[in-house]
Amino acid sequence: MKIAISGANGFIARNLIEKLEISGHQIVPIGRNKLYSIEELSVILSGTEVVINLAGAPILQRWTEKSKNEIAKSRIIATQNIVKAINGLPENKKPQIFITASAIGIYSTNTITHSESSTSFANDFIGEVVKNWENASLNLSPKVRRVVFRIGLVLGKDAQTIQKLLPVFKMGIGGKIGSGEQPFPFVHISDLVNAIFWAIQNEKARGIYNLSAPENIDNKTFTCVLAKSLKRPAVFTVPAFGLKLLYGEAASLLLQSPQVTPQRLLDEGFVFHFPEIKSCLAEITS
């Protein structure tokens, strides 16, 4: 299949492209600068069978007006433009499938466990960005199958989160973040890639799917399991005030999170290879 991918240099896309190419698919990367030209997008997307939208500026950074604008624009405007380009193609040149990333940040951080049917949404900056990000593809041609993955924290050997944490934990100075009681919805990169493959191959897959592991844990549990897998102690705490000094408003990403369940994926037969944190971190630290 001929598959176009935006955000092709990112962590998720790199792992996805590797598996797609091994499987014999032709990859068409969509350059970042092309995302803001519908005319150029039309040329790139014409004749592709699948479009996978993974573009988006990093969210965990200190939020300024400039960075907030880039976080929103790189998701919302880019998605709108891709959809406009697809809709404008002749029927015989349109892709059959459009798969787009979204985020669990759309959900409120109350005590609810959110399935895809939840309508308890966050009303903060990230919540609004994610809602508008998803809405940007609502006008997609009904002839194109649309799949939206609300993705949790992605873990893998080359994930930025893991690369930052491992040296600290290996020195025995790792620890929980804040109270450690905030939910920690994670997904192994292999399961994420497999879910995208599943969505491409499964003609009945459409609409919104939560993409996080079935096991619900908190940050304290993640910390303990990571430390145990490395045979190191983890007695320290990263104080909330320190994160707020470093990241400002964006510290909320580390200090609070929704609890979610991948209900639709489970109901529709998708099998997670790393359904719980112990096996996930065992693979990563092996």
Report pLDDT for 33: 93
Distance CA 246, CA 64 (A): 13
For the chain, what percent of residues have pLDDT higher than 90?
99
Report pLDDT for 282: 97
Distance CA 130, CA 122 (A): 9
Per-residue pLDDT tens digits for 98-120: 999 999 999 999 889 999 999 99
Token pair for 191: 């399961």
pLDDT average, residue stretch 164-188: 96
What residue type is 189 in one-letter code?
I
Report pLDDT for 111: 87
Contact 182, 251 (CB under 8 A): no
Per-residue pLDDT tens digits for 37-55: 999 999 999 999 999 999 9
Report pLDDT for 270: 98
CB < 8 Å & 24+ apart, contacts of 44-48 = 44/4, 44/85, 45/4, 45/82, 45/85, 45/86, 45/89, 45/95, 46/89, 46/93, 47/2, 47/93, 48/2, 48/3, 48/4, 48/95
**Which stretches of the chain are assigned E, i.e. beta strand?**
2-6, 26-30, 50-53, 97-103, 113-114, 145-151, 153-155, 175-177, 186-188, 207-211, 236-238, 259-260
pLDDT average, residue stretch 277-286: 98
pLDDT average, residue stretch 6-21: 97
Sign of CA dihedral 66, 249, 261, 176: positive
Length of the chain (residues)? 286
Q: For residue 156, is pLDDT > 90?
A: yes
Per-residue pLDDT tens digits for 54-108: 999 999 999 999 999 999 999 999 999 999 999 999 999 999 999 999 999 999 9
Report pLDDT for 258: 98
Per-residue pLDDT tens digits for 183-221: 999 999 999 999 999 999 999 999 999 999 999 999 999
Q: For residue 264, is pLDDT > 90?
A: yes
In this structure, the number of other CB atoms found within 10 A of the CB of residue 163 comes to 12
Please report, for residues 55, 69, 125, 132, the alpha-carbon distance to residue 74 in angstroms, rounded to integers and kept in the order given: 7, 8, 15, 12
Can you give the residue ranges of every domain in the chain?
2-154+186-214+259-273
Which pTM does this prediction carry?
Answer: 0.96
CATH 3.40.190.10 describes domain 2-154+186-214+259-273: no
Report pLDDT for 110: 87
Token pair for 57: 């500026």
Residue 140 — very low, low, confident or very high, per pLDDT cuts 50/70/90? very high
